[in-house]
Amino acid sequence: MSATAVATPYSPPEINKWVVALSIAPGSLMATIDSSIVNVAIPHIRGTIGATVEEIAWISTAYIVAMVLIMPLTGLLGAVFGQKRLYIISLLLFLAGSILCGMARTLPVFVAFRILQGLGAGSLQPSQQAILRQTFPLEEQGMAMAIYSMVIMVGPAVGPVLGGWITDNMAWPWIFYINVPIGIIGVFLTMKYVFEPTDVRHANVKRAAALREHMDWAGIALMIVAIASLQYFLEEGPTKDWFHSTPILVCGFVAVVSLIAFVIRELSCPQPVVNLRLFRDPTFASGTVIAAIVYAALIGNMFLLPVYMQELLGFDATQSGIALIPRTIAMLIVTPFVGRLYNSIPPALVIGFGAIMFIFGSYELSFITLQSGMMDIVVPLVIMGSSLACLMIPLTTVALSTTARKDLADAAGLNSFVRQIGGSIGITVFTTLLANYAIQAKAGVAAHVSLLRPELQPQLGAMMHQLVHRVADWNLAHALMIKILSGRATVEGMVLSFDKLFVLQAILFAVVIPLLFFLRSGREGPAETLEISLE
């Protein structure tokens, strides 16, 4: 006997949402940590495998390119394998890549295994985001995204500190081997406690059948070419003098052409490999674009501070990592409160408040000098850490607030992909500007350091007297004095260029505030129904 199908509100299975959140956190956390943990160990790795400075950069570039490449495919892979199974497969791939990276002793093999590790890592973040959204009830979506935001923001902050400590006290392969026990625990917990909702599973089965019948191979090929060339362009452009390099010029051209072709293909294909039609939703589009802009500034800031502390203030890798810990602690303290307040305060107001805090913190950083101590850096960092919670939680929550449950994996993958591209653009822009500003600032400082300036002659005369006393040769002492003055002009120019970039970051966040008027919150969420057939 069968009854007519009726529409009833979706009721999730009786599972402990906090156990689910704990189960899927290790994978995403390790993926974000591994994007930065390797950087501090590069000198040791280079010595082991015998690579040049330019060649060794590929172990970071390969991981990022592979990770970004897989993110937009999360929805498709989730439909084919199932969301839970995809997460487990991705985590196992990541662990296999980690073990093999620790064993690698030649550059080509190392790069190949980093690609394998990146392919596994790419779908962990969007999968975690989708699973959390599907597990937590509507009124607790802010808290779900608070958990997700803590994971994706803690990783890059913890990575350099953890990598420096492991490299100094153990050996560089252990930055990869340490993933194994944590990952195994994550696989076990996911298998035991994570369940795919019935409505999502049914929707995935339907989509998988349609994909197998009309697989968008052309879209996949165009996406691979577009993303790989774009990411290489962004990662390697600053070190290869941009369009003065033929490979960068070719990659830029290929990226533009293939990206345009990819967008046209996906919008016209009946079963697209990446659902770009999600951008027709103004809530998803505005939240994702604003998040990309914010992430560009955040990642740029995370890049600038360690460089400033290590190259100008004389901190080692571990000390600079420890100096950044207050920012992470502040973010972890504020995050739960922002998550709980999400349903009570309009997201645009919270994001605006976070942007203002970041503007103030970044502006305060522009006043640090070579005489600045640890506390001069810690206070602005605490302010900025608090702002991160106010920024990332509402943005990640709002972006997916009107997305249907069956499309959450696609939306999460696209959101993560655009945010990651924003971060890559941020690092690229600030790296390029740092080099250009440093040259300009050095020239400006050097113009005021002249041996003929009367106010400088007493100081320069005393310096010359000391150098002649030490080397007993006037010509050599004069050459040394010129070199010292040039070095001082370089350092002062670097300080001025960093100060200028911190102010620029503040301006960038000020530009974000008017964009909040375009942010439309869908707190009520999409109407979810489940077709039930009674036999």
CATH number assigned to the domain covering 6-215+271-439+501-532: 1.20.1250.20
Q: Are strands 6-9 and 529-532 parallel, antiparallel or unpaired?
A: antiparallel
% of residues, the chain, pLDDT over 70: 80
pLDDT number for residue 31: 81
pLDDT band at 488 (very low <50, low <70, confident <90, very high): low
pLDDT digits (tens, 9 = 90+) for 11-41: 444 667 788 888 888 887 888 787 777 777 7
pLDDT digits (tens, 9 = 90+) for 211-257: 677 777 888 888 888 888 887 887 777 777 777 778 888 888 988 99
Give the whole-angstrom CA distance, residue 188 versus residue 196. 16
**Mean pLDDT, residues 318-324:** 71
pLDDT band at 528 (very low <50, low <70, confident <90, very high): very low
Residue 7: phi and psi, rounded to 5, are -95, 125
Other Cβ atoms within 10 Å of 522 Cβ, number = 18
Coil, strand or helix at 149: helix
pLDDT number for residue 3: 42
Encode 293-316: b = buried (16+ Cβ within 10 Å), e = exposed.
Answer: bbbbbbbbbbbbbbebbbebbebe
pTM greater than 0.75: no
pLDDT number for residue 450: 56
Is residue 485 pLDDT above 70, yes or no? no
pLDDT digits (tens, 9 = 90+) for 174-220: 888 888 888 898 889 888 888 877 777 777 777 777 767 777 788 88
Contact (Cβ atoms closer than 8 angstroms) between residue 176 and residue 382:
no
Contact (Cβ atoms closer than 8 angstroms) between residue 116 and residue 93:
yes
- Listing DSSP states for 405-473 in one string gives GGGHHHHHHHHHHHHHHHHHHHHHHHHHHHHHHHHHHHHHHHHT--TT-GGGHHHHHHHHHHHHHHHS-
The segment with the largest mean pLDDT, out of 354-363, 387-396, 475-484, is: 354-363
Give the whole-angstrom CA distance, residue 352 versus residue 371. 33
pLDDT digits (tens, 9 = 90+) for 294-314: 888 777 777 777 777 777 777
Gap between the terminal Cα atoms of the chain: 5
pLDDT band at 471 (very low <50, low <70, confident <90, very high): low
